[in-house]
Structure 1
Amino acid sequence: MLSGAKLRTILAVLSLRAEGEVRRDELIEELDLVRTAGDAINAVHAHVARLRRWLHRHGGNAGLVETVHCGYRLNIDRDAVDANRFVRLVEHALNLAPNTPSVVATILEDALSLWQGDALIDALEGPLVTTAADELYRWRAAARATLIDAWLALDHNQKVALNARKFISEDPLNESMRARHIIALQRMGRYAEAVEAYNDAELVLSRELGIRPGTELRATHDPATQYTIPSAVRHRERAMTDARL
């Protein structure tokens, strides 16, 4: 593993912009070198030189990190970076026709399998890394919601119940995910568990936000209200909006 938080941060930022330029002034701010280094530009050069030596020792060629006019560029294919490949796969899935839930599910299962822990956890929390991590989490939320919708359309209710419970444990205020969880339980005839799941949602929302469940969640609990499963593949705008809630 690459040692040194600053070197890991430089590699992370260059990787996220693979084939694109990262300016020196951006790296100076990201690494907080204005405050900690007397000559910030020379400090950036020194860190990049160390990164180049490390990459060379681990099989990288001399031109892997290229100096360009105002900064640096990592010369690798964008899809060689898991984060970039993940976003591309999710974008593709969200743009597919709504009558292809099996295709959408396959793509999103592959995309979500690329997550091996928290986003950019080994990098410093500078502005570029923080923004990129937040964006990745929004894409992951959209991917999860759309995958659950695709599984519901395919009647894969056991998958929905198991995975929705995991997603809810990480995002307990997500009412849409709780609604999907409940409808899967109801479909499998696990009505007592569905009622328990609704009561838990009501308790959490009241305790944490001081609100009652919204329309979508209430529809899973009120026999007089017809619950409609969301489209298996939603437009990108709606999916990303849900992810931000």
Structure 2
Amino acid sequence: MQINLLGPLSVSVDGTDATPTAPKTRRVLALLAIHANRVVPNQLLIEELWENQPPPSVTTTLQTYVYQLRKHLNTNPAAVAAPPRGGRPPGEVLRTYAGGYMLCLRPEALDSLRFEQLAQRGRAELDRGETGAASRTLREALALWQGPALVDINPGPLLQVEALRLDEIFKSALELRIDADLRLGRHHELLGELIGLAARQPTHEGFQSKLMLALYRAGRRSEALDAYQRARETLVDELGVDPCDDLQRLHRAILAGDPALNVPGGVSALRPAQRQDTGHRIAREVHWAQARSA
């Protein structure tokens, strides 16, 4: 079984599409999936489906949606996680417990869970100085995204929060991957990506600073300074604030030609032609980052 939430909702069982079409059944599935391998209380499901206006027969109606979902999630023991102590025997993907339900999945069967694991691993690798490994791991994580999370689900309050949470992890992973590539001297190949990100998210100071650094390392100092001025004007006009301290320090360092801004020692500056294999992945990451800011 495979369930994808990072983009259009999709469910496949033994290679066959089993995606529910009924709106509320899809929301039940999404909520159970984001809490995979944990019991989701009935009250949370009711809040997601009806907020403060549940129908008089809410319990029966919820049971009907769960029954419909069971018909889609055919048993596939290879995709089912081991049950907790006291749970039902293996072989049942959607299990009923007192006061709630649990969707049992292995990590590789859910794209959002796999994404979070890879993002955490990539961050840890970067913290340990394993820059090449971090770049590869974070690219693998970002490649799981096929569009904004839960994009074709009409979310209730709980799924709205989850979509925002996943979006923040996406942006964090994207920033970390760009950081890793900058440390590896890949500033030339990053320029197109960063120009697009900075243009679509002009108040995102992290993307602005990375664009400035990539331009400076590419020998385009005046353009790096112009990027700072555009960012500063946008922040003042739209948010009424000056650039953060880090952005201002970077601006002063570029003005001074600080050697600390150069590519880390021992790393050669790679040209785009030397990294053509990453171009399509970068383009996809930019596309979905831009979709979020639209």
Q: What's the TM-score, normalizing by structure 1?
A: 0.83
Q: How far apart are the structure 1 equivalents of 2:222 and 2:260?
A: 21
Retained in 1: the 8 A contact 2:24–2:65?
Answer: yes
Indicate yes or no: 2:166 matched with 1:136: yes
Contact 1:151 1:157 in 2 (8 A): yes
- Structure 1: state its 5+ residue gaps: 233-245
Query: In structure 1, what is the Cα distance between the partners aligned to 2:92 and 2:153?
Result: 23
Render the CA deviation track for 1:103-131: whole Å, top value 9, x for unaligned: 10000000011111111122332232122
Q: What is the CA distance between 1:214 and its match in structure 2?
A: 2.3
In the alignment, which residue of structure 2 is the partner of 1:11? 29
The residue aligned with 1:77 is: 106
Q: Give 2:239's aligned residue.
A: 209
Q: Counterparts of 1:186-201 in structure 2 under 5 Å?
A: 186-201=216-231
Residue 238 of structure 1 corresponds to none
Fraction of identical pairs, as percent = 29
On the 8 A contact 1:219/1:226 being kept in 2, the answer is no
SS at structure 2 position matched to 1:208:
helix
Are residues 1:151 and 2:169 paired? no
User: How many residues end up aligned between the 2 structures?
Assistant: 228
SS in 1 for 2:53: helix
Greater RCO, 1 or 2 (C-alpha within 8 Å, sep 6+): 1
SS in 2 for 1:66: strand
Aligned pair 1:43/2:73, yes or no?
A: no
Aligned counterparts, 1:49-60, within 5 A: 49-56=67-74
Distance 2:248 2:118 in 1: 33
Is the counterpart of residue 166 in structure 1 residue 196 in structure 2? yes
Tell me the distance in 1 between the aligned counterparts of 2:177 and 2:50. Answer: 39
Opposite residue 123 of structure 1, the aligned amino acid is I
Decide which moves more: 85-94 or 218-227: 218-227
Q: Is the 8 Å Cα contact of residues 51 and 157 (structure 2) preserved in structure 1? A: no
> Match of 2:105, as an amino acid?
I
Indicate the RMSD between aligned Cα atoms, in angstroms: 2.4
SS of the residue 1:99 aligns to: coil
2:25 and 2:45 map into 1 onto residues whose CA distance is 11
Deviations 1:7-50 (A, max 9, x none): 11111111112222111111011101762421111111001111
SS of 2:251 mapped into structure 1? coil
Structure 1 partner of 2:11: none
Give SS of 1:220's match. Answer: helix
State the secondary structure of the residue aligned to 1:31.
Answer: helix
TM-score by length of 2: 0.70
Q: Which residue of 2 aligns with 1:30?
A: 48
Matching residue within 118, 126, 131 for 1:89: 118
Task: Answer whether contact 1:5 1:122 (CA < 8 A) is retained.
Answer: no
Provide closer, same or farther for how the CA distance between residues 33 and 212 of structure 1 changes in structure 2, counting only shifts above 3 A: closer
Divergent runs of 4+, >6 A: none
Is residue 2:149 matched to residue 1:119?
A: yes
